[in-house]
Amino acid sequence: MDVFQLVREFLSGKGAADRFEHELHNLDNTEVKIALLGRSGTGKSSLMNALVGERVAASGAVETTTKAQEFNVNGLIFVDLPGGGTTRFPFDEYLDTMKINTYDAFILVVSKRILESDLDLLNELKSRTGKKIHVVRTMIDQDIENAVHDGISPELVLPRLRSDLESKFGSTHHCWLISNRHPKEYDFPAFSDSLLEDFDDARRDKYVFAVKAYTDGQLRRKREVAERHVTLFAGMAAVNGFNPVFGADIVADVAILVKMNQWILRCYKLDEEHMHKQLRRTPLSSAQVTLVNRLIAYGTKEFILSLLKRQVTRMTGKELAKWVPVVGHMASAGLGFALTRWMGHDLILQCEEATRSLMREVHSTPARTSKSKHPV
């Protein structure tokens, strides 16, 4: 969908004002449903947590999940189907009751030894869905550690495990070697990205929005999705025809900016709720707490109003005009469009920088125990 075309149509009197709201509403309501299957203790919950970058499911050394559970993280729904292939949860029963056609992707999680029951489950899934199943072997970090302990060169571990996995599951399936403790390493990023191939455009956007970005490529994808959404919010502002500095309806217009900024913060997992949860597990330096607090403020009406007064009143029409390349003129619709795009773009860049900074810090100081201040 071409947002600029929609704006042009609207300005020429042909388009309907609620098209943008419809588009945003559709995207907001799109859901992606992923089935996680595998024996107990293989790392299903940990995999889900690593993908979304937060602890949504309990994981542990003892059997933690004994019945099917659904987790919804910003529209990305994981259905954790524990113990598939064991006597306790015969997989036939699963496959009969799980409404197989409602899933967008299937992940079979294995670790250490691969059993006949894993192969049976895979074949049954494949024949019922007709889809490629993602086979994920977790705990690669431990395999490498064990190899070093056993005097085997760590360079040999991955090729050996890969050919073992492929000889068992065959090359018709995607096979990945990952560690849930190191989501930037091994096949984890490639595995996460490969899921995108299973989705249509709207689901792809939703998946990118909901997962955590660990690599430059994933950050780039987040930026593309975020910019697309910002353009939609800008379209909404344009058709509302707002004049945020001089207009009387400033509160209604600020509401669009608040909504957009909150969306961007959630996309980068820098929203207040996420940061509160995160800080309980990973302390930040005081400089980072300040940075996060500043970003969280972008999601509030008060901060946006002060930003509009401080910054936008000083901006020239020419500066803002570059955010309306297609609308092409500074009518009130153009101004609303330009201002929204400018603010969205600016926040996206700040969130990207903050994400890189937080990633660097977590990477370089993995085990800090000091207590830090919580944001806001």
Q: Which of these ranges, 56-64, 197-205, 206-214, 318-326, lies near ligand GTP under the rule CB under 6 A?
A: 56-64
Q: Are 49 and 55 in contact (CB under 8 A)?
A: yes
Of the candidates 34, 37, 136, 138, which one interacts with ligand GTP according to CB under 6 A? 138
69 interacts with ligand GTP by CB under 6 A? no
84 interacts with ligand GTP by CB under 6 A? no
Of the candidates 180, 240, 278, 350, which one interacts with ligand GTP according to CB under 6 A? 180
| Secondary structure of residue 329 in the 3-state scheme | coil
185 interacts with ligand GTP by CB under 6 A? no
State the Cα–Cα distance between residues 304 and 308, nearest whole angstrom.
6
Q: Which one of ligand GTP, Mg ion, none is in contact with 183 (Cβ closer than 5 to 8 A by kind)?
A: none
State the Cα–Cα distance between residues 52 and 204, nearest whole angstrom.
15
For residue 340, CA distances in Å to 19, 370, 374 come to 17, 40, 30
Smallest gap, in angstroms, from Cβ of residue 180 to ligand GTP? Answer: 4
For residue 107, CA distances in Å to 37, 82, 125 come to 6, 12, 10
Smallest gap, in angstroms, from Cβ of residue 107 to ligand GTP? Answer: 11
Smallest gap, in angstroms, from Cβ of residue 222 to Mg ion? Answer: 27
65 interacts with ligand GTP by CB under 6 A? yes
Q: Please give the helix or strand (H or E) that residue 338 lies within, else none.
A: helix 332-364
40 interacts with ligand GTP by CB under 6 A? yes
82 interacts with ligand GTP by CB under 6 A? yes
Site residues (CB under 5 A) for Mg ion, limited to 64-83:
64-65
Of the candidates 45, 261, 340, 350, which one interacts with ligand GTP according to CB under 6 A? 45
Torsion over CA: 102, 105, 110, 115 (sign)? positive
- Tokens 């600020």 -> residue: 254
* Range list of β-strands (E), 128-275: 134-138, 174-177
Of the candidates 12, 13, 14, 61, which one interacts with ligand GTP according to CB under 6 A? 61
Site residues (CB under 6 A) for ligand GTP, limited to 211-250:
none
Q: Which tokens is 279 given?
A: 């800080």
Burial of 341 (0-12, 13-18, 19+ CB in 10 A): buried
142 interacts with ligand GTP by CB under 6 A? yes
Q: Which tokens is 252 given?
A: 């209604």
The total of other beta-carbon atoms located within 10 Å of residue 94's CB is 21
Of the candidates 35, 81, 95, 139, which one interacts with ligand GTP according to CB under 6 A? 139
Of the candidates 30, 42, 45, 49, which one interacts with Mg ion according to CB under 5 A? 45
Q: Which one of Mg ion, ligand GTP, none is in contact with 43 (Cβ closer than 5 to 8 A by kind)?
A: ligand GTP
Smallest gap, in angstroms, from Cβ of residue 36 to ligand GTP? Answer: 8
Q: Are 71 and 56 in contact (CB under 8 A)?
A: yes
Of the candidates 1, 60, 325, 376, which one interacts with ligand GTP according to CB under 6 A? 60
Smallest gap, in angstroms, from Cβ of residue 286 to ligand GTP? Answer: 30
41 interacts with ligand GTP by CB under 6 A? yes
* Helix 332-364 with 250-267: angle, nearest 10 deg: 30
Q: Which of these ranges, 54-62, 116-124, 323-331, 339-347, lies near ligand GTP under the rule CB under 6 A?
A: 54-62
Smallest gap, in angstroms, from Cβ of residue 136 to ligand GTP? Answer: 10
Q: Are 38 and 137 in contact (CB under 8 A)?
A: no
Residue among 83 and 344 whose Cβ is closer to ligand GTP: 83
Sheet hosting strand 69-73, strand order edge to edge: 69-73, 76-82, 32-38, 105-111, 134-138, 174-177
The total of other beta-carbon atoms located within 10 Å of residue 159's CB is 10
Binding residues for ligand GTP, per CB under 6 A? 38, 40-46, 59-61, 63-65, 82, 138-139, 141-142, 179-181
Binding residues for Mg ion, per CB under 5 A? 44-45, 64-65
